[in-house]
Amino acid sequence: MIISLETVIQISENAKSWSEVQMSSPNNTYILNITNTVTYPYYAINVELHKQDDTFSLHYGIGKPPEFSLNLSEITEVQGFDIYGYLENRFTHFILLSSQDFQKGQVYISTSSEWTQNYNITVTATYDKLCPNNCNNQGSCQDGKCLCNKYYIGNDCHQQATYIEQNKEIFLNLENTVKYAYVDLEESVNQTMSLIVKTNSSEGVDLYIMKTRVLYIPALEDLNRKYYDLLVEGNEVSYLYPIEFGLKDRNDISTQIQKRIRFIFKQKSLVEQNIQLSLDLINQRTQNTISTTTVIIIVASIAGIIMILSLSFAIGKYFRNKKIKETLAALAMIRQMQHEKKYSAKSFDDEILEQLPQIENDHIKNTDVCPICLDLYINKPDLRSTKCKHLFHRECILSWIYINKNCPTCRCDLKIHMNQHRNQQQ
């Protein structure tokens, strides 16, 4: 990149600030000549754009003009660069220098953009470490960092956010918008907190956990996508897959200033709809108590189910054995009657079989048995169906009908009619 040295910023011993409206070329560099570094320990550089520009960035260099690259490896460790103004696409950009920086060498300020536009640039000498935008009057400035008031986040406290309270369920409506929320770890010292996120959205909601104090803005897809892994930890939540995860102090630059874990929620669908989120922050010890109680209930329920199933099995086995004994007794009686009377039932068999259609056994399972003889269907392929749709071996149902006109399985009337010749022969 070619840097043009256009302007020398001269702040004399008696002067406190310098300001100018600059007609920007794509890249400008300023040389800061400060003669009052003994009087004022800090110098704040403010740039206010006249129009929004997602390519604009503000840098500084000591001893030589800054040689900057936006291929960032660790966002939290970037030096000489207003990373907040660039990644958040801000109208205002801010850098704070100390008098010690000027003692190390010549100080340069550079602005970079792909477009030409007007902007205001101001250099202010100060006794205190100033904060960007004076924390937007929504927080206090301490040691050059903003401590945001309740319901605000960001390096200059400009962004409203929902405060997630402990043991109090919070509801958010997205309505095709992006919503910010945060958990204040300073209010849960020495406690392990767990956040449960649920939604009524079947399409799902994107949940981002911010890794730094730089606000991730989903609307700036092209810009933020380059640094996605450095800015946020992405998750997806839907009504089928709620999320529960533990929260802890990451102990990095983002939480040393203010111990807050920040979240962003964005609906997936491009169609505007009312999506509701449920956020529940609970103490891990409370959760463990609930989990223990739940385990006891589950174990007791399983034990009760096993007892009921065992009892049902025993009762079922008793009645099955009883039915088998009755069936065997009936068959024995049939055989005895056939032996004693020695009648020929062929003509009557034909009459009965006309009322009992034959069934193909192609779809019969190999394990299915005849309810009368308890032998497999496949051993005797001639199967007959009653009007109540129950299957029997041909000879089994014939023998049964001679002594009982009710179905041996469901006891329904088989509605079998005999001719008078049979009655006379009997």
As a whole-number percent, the residues of the chain with pLDDT over 70 amount to 83
CA 397 to chain centre: 61
Given this model, what pLDDT does residue 347 score?
Answer: 61
Of 103-117, 185-199, 256-270, which one has max mean pLDDT?
103-117
Q: Above 80 in pLDDT, residue 388?
A: yes
Domain boundaries, the chain: 5-130, 153-285, 343-425
pLDDT digits (tens, 9 = 90+) for 126-157: 889 999 999 999 999 998 889 999 999 998 99
Taking residues 220-246, report their average pLDDT.
Answer: 85
Q: State which H helix or E strand residue 224 sits in.
A: helix 221-225
**5-130 and 153-285: identical CATH topology:** yes
Structure-derived torsion over alpha carbons of residues 223, 227, 228, 230, reported in degrees to the nearest 10: -150
How far is Cα 26 from Cα 203, in angstroms, rounded to an integer?
Answer: 43
Q: Select the more confidently predicted residue: 408 or 23.
A: 408
pLDDT digits (tens, 9 = 90+) for 236-248: 998 888 888 787 7
Taking residues 370-394, report their average pLDDT.
Answer: 87
Q: Are the CB atoms for 351 and 418 separated by under 8 Å?
A: yes
Query: According to the CATH classification, is domain 153-285 in 3.40.449.10?
Result: no
Q: Is the pTM of this model over 0.85?
A: no
Taking residues 43-57, report their average pLDDT.
Answer: 90
Given this model, what pLDDT does residue 189 score?
Answer: 62
How far is Cα 151 from Cα 135, in angstroms, rounded to an integer?
Answer: 13
How far is Cα 38 from Cα 100, in angstroms, rounded to an integer?
Answer: 10
Specify the length of the chain in residues.
426
Taking residues 176-200, report their average pLDDT.
Answer: 82
Taking residues 44-57, report their average pLDDT.
Answer: 90
Q: Between 3.30.40.10, 3.40.50.720, 1.10.940.10, 3.40.50.10860, what CATH number should domain 343-425 receive?
A: 3.30.40.10
Q: How high does pLDDT run on average in the chain?
A: 81
Taking residues 389-394, report their average pLDDT.
Answer: 88
Given this model, what pLDDT does residue 376 score?
Answer: 86
Residue 180: band (very low, low, confident or very high) from pLDDT cuts 50, 70, 90: very high
Given this model, what pLDDT does residue 3 score?
Answer: 39
Taking residues 192-219, report their average pLDDT.
Answer: 87
Sole residue written with tokens 């009648």: 343
Q: State which H helix or E strand residue 307 sits in.
A: helix 284-341
Q: Select the more confidently predicted residue: 409 or 7.
A: 409
Of 52-61, 72-81, 246-255, which one has max mean pLDDT?
52-61
Residue 194: band (very low, low, confident or very high) from pLDDT cuts 50, 70, 90: confident
How far is Cα 289 from Cα 259, in angstroms, rounded to an integer?
Answer: 27
Given this model, what pLDDT does residue 380 score?
Answer: 84
- CATH topology for 5-130 is Jelly Rolls (2.60.120)
